[in-house]
Structure 1
Amino acid sequence: MALRSNPTLRQRRLGVELRRMREQAGFGGSQLARAIGATPAQITQMEAGRTGISVERLRTIAATCMCVNESLIDALAEIITERGRPGWWEEYRDALATDFLENAELEGHAKRLVTYTVTFVPGLLQTDAYASAVFGNSIPPLPCHEVDLRTAFRMRRQQVVRSGAVPYTAYIHEAALRMRFSGAKVFTDQLDALVESSERSATSVRVVPFAVDGLPSPSENFTYAEGPIPELDTVQIDTGLGCQMFDAPAHVAKFRAVLVQMESNSLSEGESRDLIQSIKKETGRHG
């Protein structure tokens, strides 16, 4: 089987879970290879996501590593059986950076999404004009065709929450609701769209106000994507140099704790809508 030169996010995650399974059993790569009739190089490639494995081999590895977490094994088997069913984002593989594709892949397979933004309205809730303005403020400036491409991709990503198929909670810091990237009309249209989005049954918009006390507020925007089981949850964090994915149990547990406190300290859905409307009225008064 030819090695993959660019494994997808899900393929790499399968490899990570295979490595964790092996390490929890106290096996080295050579030990596992001997136990299942493979070579150490094959174990290395499987754990890097560079080569696929069958469901049968997965179950052999799980049994050899004494893994009794059947829900995890079944979830990993589901990843394996996805082969041949590429996501819509693959259409953009030669046009956009990998970060964009992996964000869409993460969202496309999530069972629930939670985001926190402190600098702008979440991408999954942005209007076309607002998204274009955000991309248009990049330094150095992006060419117009690149702004249009990124905006179109972001709009397509929104289908995952617009369809209502994936429950979505957006925690938005008040600072993000006051940050302007374009003129007053783009800004107020975005606030209107945010209120409209908050009224969807599967979408919850919660504002984190300036006045809140005791909130463990990260400085970065992040997404918490729930997998089919908690062991496959993932955190994606935006940085100035791109996005990073975290799936180590300690990282995931930290952000679960952050979200618990954020839920208790943010405004209710109704209070959040009222604040958004209030900010819109202020914008109308001051132009």
Structure 2
Amino acid sequence: MPAGSTLPRRALGRQLRNLRERNDISQAAAARIAETSSQTYGRLEDGRITKVTDMLLNTLANAYQTTDAERRLLLTLAQEIRTSAATGGGWWRAYADSMATNFDYYLSLEGAANWVTSWQTTLVPGLLQTREYRRAITWATSPETAPADVDRMLDMAAKRQGMLDEAGFRFEALIAEGTLHYQVGSAAIMAAQVQNLVDRSEQAEIRIVPFRAKNPAGLIASPFVLFSFPPLLTSKLQEPPVAYVEGLAGDLYLERETEVSRFSHEANMIRQVALPRSASRDLILKAMKEWQA
């Protein structure tokens, strides 16, 4: 199998699975359409195959009654698979201007993960943000965005947060105490946001790294997210974890075991200095009262 990032392959597999299930087509029927075995097609949806032709994807797109945008997305992902294999890169960087329309690798990874660990030093993690807190961030970072586009983004964010209610999904939020005090929007927005952390503390594992932590573990690291996944549906193989780091120039997705292990180690160090969940909740409640004053 050619070397390269597994991210485009995983994304293509998930996209094909979603389109197939939307049309109520079985894997066996999809395999017949693709003129291949059920096992081979299953590996395709699992992201285990790198050689994918445009002809094959166009055939499946026809059968799945895709929109033009969905078809372009499949073909774009196939091109990214080929590019990744040719470069042999163990990591894959996605810049905003090269992303396929209406598709986000972060959302794809988040939707497939069964355990997400988020370390944040300045902002509340996305899955725990209130609508108005997120709106304030959007206006601050992208003031030229049309109000209708902002609302669509907020609707998508709200839909994502439904994952917190899903059985088998674990969200671990490791948050620096300063995040509770950095003002985003108005004081009322902050009060509601901190209240939301209290409300979500049963669904998410929210732990605060206090100002007086015994050592600076995590504070010298940039915010990052670790995605862990359940076994693949068809092959039952264990999908390797991915680390994500957001940057101004682009978003970095790391897959090499040696690189991901560094983030896993950092997360363990942060856990050691973070307050227990109950003490974290008390600290959040204190911050909420300050914002309400």
> What CA distance in whole angstroms lies between the structure 2 residues aligned with 1:211 and 1:191?
20
Give yes or no for the alignment of 1:179 onto 2:197: no
Structure 2 unaligned spans of 5+: 1-6, 15-35, 50-59, 74-96, 232-237
Distance 1:208 1:79, change over 3 A: same
> After the TM superposition, which residues 107-122 of structure 1 pair with which residues of structure 2 at under 5 Å, given as runs?
107-122=110-125
* SS of 2:46 mapped into structure 1: helix
TM-score by length of 2: 0.64
Pairing partner for 2:227 from 225, 228, 235? 225
Pairing partner for 1:104 from 97, 107, 121? 107
Pairing partner for 1:262 from 245, 270, 275? 270
Report the AA paired with residue 284 of structure 1.
Q
% identical equivalent positions: 24
Structure 1 residue 277: Cα displacement: 0.9
> What CA distance in whole angstroms lies between the structure 2 residues aligned with 1:189 and 1:206?
18
The residue that corresponds to 2:81 in the other structure is none
The residue that corresponds to 1:280 in the other structure is 288
> What CA distance in whole angstroms lies between the structure 2 residues aligned with 1:218 and 1:9?
33
Report the AA paired with residue 135 of structure 2.
S
Pairing partner for 1:191 from 191, 194, 202? 194
Distance 1:216 1:172, change over 3 A: closer
Distance 1:164 1:132, change over 3 A: farther
Structure 1 residue 149: Cα displacement: 2.0
Conserved 8 A contact 2:121-2:219: no
> What CA distance in whole angstroms lies between the structure 1 residues aligned with 2:149 and 2:207?
31
> After the TM superposition, which residues 1-287 of structure 1 pair with which residues of structure 2 at under 5 Å, given as runs?
8=8, 10-11=10-11, 78-79=46-47, 101-200=104-203, 203-212=204-213, 213-228=215-230, 232-285=240-293
> What CA distance in whole angstroms lies between the structure 2 residues aligned with 1:220 and 1:267?
20
Cα shift readout 1:92-132 (whole Å, capped 9, x = no counterpart): x7xx9659621111011112111111121110011111111
> What CA distance in whole angstroms lies between the structure 1 residues aligned with 2:211 and 2:128?
21
Distance 1:136 1:54, change over 3 A: farther
Higher relative contact order (CA 8 A, sep 6+): 2
> What CA distance in whole angstroms lies between the structure 2 residues aligned with 1:104 and 1:11?
10
Distance 1:182 1:140, change over 3 A: closer
* SS of 2:145 mapped into structure 1: coil
Conserved 8 A contact 2:12-2:47: no
Structure 1 residue 139: Cα displacement: 4.6
Distance 1:281 1:103, change over 3 A: same
Conserved 8 A contact 1:55-1:80: no
Report the AA paired with residue 78 of structure 1.
D
Distance 1:54 1:79, change over 3 A: farther
Structure 1 residue 76: Cα displacement: 7.7
TM-score by length of 1: 0.65
> What CA distance in whole angstroms lies between the structure 1 residues aligned with 2:272 and 2:169?
22
The residue that corresponds to 2:89 in the other structure is none
The residue that corresponds to 1:31 in the other structure is none
Distance 1:147 1:11, change over 3 A: closer
Report the AA paired with residue 241 of structure 1.
A
Structure 1 residue 270: Cα displacement: 0.6
Distance 1:227 1:135, change over 3 A: same
Distance 1:11 1:209, change over 3 A: same
Structure 1 residue 79: Cα displacement: 3.8
Report the AA paired with residue 264 of structure 2.
R
Q: What is the number of equivalent residue pairs in this alignment?
A: 217
* SS of 2:218 mapped into structure 1: coil
Structure 1 residue 177: Cα displacement: 1.3
Structure 1 residue 263: Cα displacement: 1.2
> What CA distance in whole angstroms lies between the structure 1 residues aligned with 2:111 and 2:128?
16
Conserved 8 A contact 2:13-2:46: no
Q: In terms of mean alpha carbon deviation, does 226-235 or 117-126 score higher? A: 226-235
Conserved 8 A contact 1:173-1:209: yes
For the aligned residues, what is the CA RMSD?
A: 3.4
Report the AA paired with residue 215 of structure 1.
A
> What CA distance in whole angstroms lies between the structure 2 residues aligned with 1:12 and 1:250?
25
